Amino acid sequence: MQIGRVSSYQPSFGVKVPTKTVLSVATGRFLENAKVAHPAQMDMLQKVGNLSHEQLYSYQSAEALRNMGNIIKQRHPNIAKSAERINKECDILNRERTFKPDDERKVTATINRVVKEEIKNIGKEEIDIAPMDLKELGYDKSDILKQFGRA
C-alpha cells in the first residue's frame, strides 16, 4: 500500500495582489514609476471594491484609495509596520533631495532596496486582500447627501 503525499491547502478568501502594490497603497506613495504604479493601484481598487468602470474613474477614487490603504493597515499589522518604515525612509530621503540626476538615481536605488527588504520581511510575493464594501471605501455618500436634503 502506498500512501500519497499530503498537501496543505490554504483557501484564499480575497483578491491576490502583489505585495509591492499593497505597500504602495498602504504608504500612499508610488514606489515605482507612476505609469506602472497608478494603473496597478486602480486595478487593485476595482477588484477589492468590486467597482464599476464609472465608479473607478469618478471623483471619489482618490479618497477610496486613501481609505483602502487605511483599511489594509488596520487588517494587516505587518503591512502597516512595513509601510511605516518605508514612509520614514522616504521622508529622510526627501529632506536631503536635490533633484539632480545623480541624486535621483541614489534615491530610486534606496527606495527599491527598502521595498525589497520589506517584501522579504513580509515573506509573500502576493497578499490576499479581503473585499471591501463601497461604504468602507467612501463611495456611499447617502448619509452626507441626506444631511443636505439631496437624497
For the chain, domain boundaries? 15-135
> Does the pLDDT value for residue 10 go beyond 50?
no
- pTM, two decimals, is 0.79
Round to whole Å and give the CA distance between 22 and 27.
9
Non-local CB neighbours of 35 within 8 Å, separated by 6+ positions: none
Q: How many CA atoms lie within 13 A of 6 on its CB side?
A: 2
Quick: pLDDT tens for 97-139.
888 888 888 888 999 999 999 999 999 999 999 999 888 888 8
pLDDT (0 to 100) of residue 148: 46
